[in-house]
Amino acid sequence: MLGENDRRASRNRARFETDGVLALNLLSSPGSGKTTLLCETVKALQSELPVAVIEGDQQTSNDADRIRATGAPAIQVNTGKGCHLDAAMIEDAANGLSAEEGSVLFIENVGNLVCPAAFDLGEAAKVVILSVTEGEDKPIKYPDMFAVADLMILNKIDLAPYVQFDIARCMGMARRVNPSLQILQLSATTGEGLEAWLDWVRERRAGLLATRAA
């Protein structure tokens, strides 16, 4: 199964790179604020560059509807009993979405810190989102997810004064699992720290387009 997935992922990656599409795989447990962050990200970026979204959930189109309300194109993938997106789902969704050249394609994976870590979708980077309303020991309880991530976003930092969450300890645990992991702190609700995340996306897109041009 993983062998076929990896073949499809390679095909997706080649397609995205050829089209100059930066594909980012967003991962988290349920309730991390992933969709809220994605809505605010899309609203902030879509005036300067093309964006598109693939939404993954077991059921409903609620999250895709929220994205479409921002004016960005989005397609919903329902996995049924499946706990993750796979490369074949992304290939089919990308065919239906037809992201334009130079787009940032956000893939919001199913809320789960276990299964999605094992599946390459052909993305340029994996971004794991952890909120301060979750346990600070998540990186060592679910190490595979944090080990494969390129970036960790620590979300809902506006709530940090009201919950028992040691930010420094959490970041230390994450870097114990993945020493090269980049970490950003932000609040999707208040906008604190959001610009650093937007800059990270812009820089990754610029790097992809520069490599493609060369």
Per-residue pLDDT of 5-15, as tens digits, reads 999 999 999 99
What is the residue-wise DSSP string for 43-76?
HHHTTTS-EEEEEEESS-SHHHHHHHTTT--EEE
**pTM > 0.85: yes or no:** yes
DSSP character at residue 29: -
CATH of 2-207, one of 3.30.420.340, 3.65.10.10, 3.30.2350.10, 3.40.50.300: 3.40.50.300
Query: pLDDT at position 1, please?
Result: 61
Residue ranges of the chain whose pLDDT lies below 50 = none
Per the DSSP assignment, residues forming a β-bridge with 28 are: 129
137 CB neighbour count, 10 Å cutoff: 12
**Range 6-21 burial, b when 16+ CB lie within 10 A, else e:** eebbeebbeebbebbb
